[in-house]
């Protein structure tokens, strides 16, 4: 999870929502990524999706059965669906997302009995640190909006925690 947090900090420095993800098989990190939606102008460029793509390339296939995905924040519905489709073996996340989490907070897609693959989940790993990054990011964004500053960070502006 520490490496996922490092990735989230890179996202923060790039002005992205600070979420980081790491795909691991055994003791080997196969892939690491952070949110890059603004940077890539891609609504699917979430940390989990980018990390799954890289792990698939590295392994030469889309089935990631013997892997664990560590992510700083509970995956959204899109990312939870991607974890299911990739046949990931384990999901480990830090902070819950009560407004969009799809691994137990809002819905639980990763363990939905109707799907052909379900993931075991470990939650709350380094939750305080993961939640702090998100809280700080959105606090700064709200202050900027209140001051009438441009909230959009797509042009590569760096977000500084005040």
Active-site residues, by number, are 48
**Residue 60 structure tokens:** 């030469």
12: left (phi over 0), alpha (psi -120 to 50) or beta: alpha
DSSP letter string, 38-69 = HHHT-TT--HHHHHHHHHHHHHTSS--TT-EE
- Within 8 A by CB and 6+ apart from 4, the residues are 20, 21, 22, 32, 47, 70, 71, 72, 94
| DSSP class per residue in 8-40 | HHHHHHTTS---EEEEEETTEEEEEEE--HHHH
- Total Cβ atoms within 10 A of residue 132: 16
């Amino acid at each position: 999870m520490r490496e996922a947090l490092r990735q989230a900090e890179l996202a923060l420095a790039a002005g992205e929502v600070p979420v980081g993800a790491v795909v691991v098989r055994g003791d080997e990190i196969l892939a690491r990524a952070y949110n890059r939606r603004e940077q890539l102008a891609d609504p699917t460029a979430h940390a989990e999706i980018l990390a799954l793509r890289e792990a698939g390339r590295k392994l030469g296939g889309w089935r990631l059965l013997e892997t664990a995905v560590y992510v700083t924040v509970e995956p959204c519905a899109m990312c939870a669906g991607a974890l299911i489709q990739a046949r990931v073996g384990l999901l480990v996340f830090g902070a819950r997302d009560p407004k969009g989490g799809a691994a137990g907070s809002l819905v639980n897609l990763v363990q939905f009995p109707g799907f052909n693959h379900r993931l075991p989940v470990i939650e709350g790993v380094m939750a305080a640190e993961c939640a702090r990054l998100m809280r700080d990011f959105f606090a700064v964004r709200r202050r900027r909006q209140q001051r009438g500053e441009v909230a959009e960070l797509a042009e590569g502006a760096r977000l500084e925690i005040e």
